[in-house]
Structure 1
């Protein structure tokens, strides 16, 4: 698995490298499995052919004078071929076990490397989550501090309002307005103030909602940009990894061919 050691410097490229290595490993495993299947079919065919020839030889022996000798000879020939097939079968079984063990080790190594490659990204995400939580807590504390700081002013405003109401009642009494009329006037005034406050609150709410929508729209746009850049980086990393893997495979095949030529010359 090439370039897995770069996980700390480039987690995205490392993760893509691990994925490409897994694909290449899967291709190698499929090739090995196909080779094993072909060899097993060949051995099975040889076994069937050996049994068929033995059956034919047995049949022919009964038409000869020395039947027992012919049968023993045919049986011996069949056993020689069967022993040779058995030897190749045992060798093939050993190779299968070795290949299966290698595949298990390779898959385990790929999973470990992928976990290591993705660890920085997970740690970064955890850090962002923790930072967002801390920012939210600080904002909450700031809002609470602002409400606490405004509490005296709200109390002063309430007291001033009560005093104004009392003075207004005194002024109405001095002008000869009856208590019932004053109450009706006050009720109409309160209703007008409540309607004004409701409209003001609705305007503030709509403004806050629009501001939030603008923020969310900007965040979605930024996320799309980030995803596009990430996808481009992943594709480039996979393409680079595939090219390196293909070159490495070609180099290995060339090296194996050179070794085979040297062995043949020896």
Structure 2
């Protein structure tokens, strides 16, 4: 039965090529940008071996990346070719048969690519295992060559620690020898402090006593002032009273004299 071909190709199949190319370019750029492992700190005899191993590993990694990029490109091309064939089959009379042949061709190519991918993965894992073994061997060799230096450093550290311990013991002994003098100095200082405290307390007592005495003197002076003012007021009152009595007496005497004069005049007039 004839089927009308679709108007558009499956977009997902044809979009594989740009994505695969981008991925391959990124992988290849990363492989070129990876720096070689630094051999700093490795003895001269091991530096050359480490550099050679690093160069070999870098070359092998570039080869793996190149082969992976090729497999990715073949996968994308296979998918694209199947998409084109599938699209073209819809314009033929025997559509199903055409689709089956296209699918079989795609699966056959996919199987070959998958087999090569498995082989590449096995080689990559083996290379990584070999690199780990070589790195372990180089590390062990470096450790063996650096063992005397580490032993010398450890011995120097032990010697420095022992010297610090001896210096600490010497300082302890010196402090112990100086302890009596420190105790005597402390006793003298404590005695001076106690004497100063006694003088300070006595000065405070004297100041309190003087303040109390001044307060009493001030109170006594104020009382004397009050008494003097009262005495003055009493004297003035008595003087005023005496003057008033004298004035009254004088007035009485004048009245008596005037009365006697009148009596005398009256007596003269009667004679």
* Class of the TM-score when normalised by the shorter of the 2 chains: 0.3 to 0.5
Q: Which has the larger radius of gyration?
A: 2
User: TM-score, normalized by length of structure 1?
Assistant: 0.43
**Larger relative contact order (Cα-Cα within 8 Å, sequence gap ≥ 6):** 1
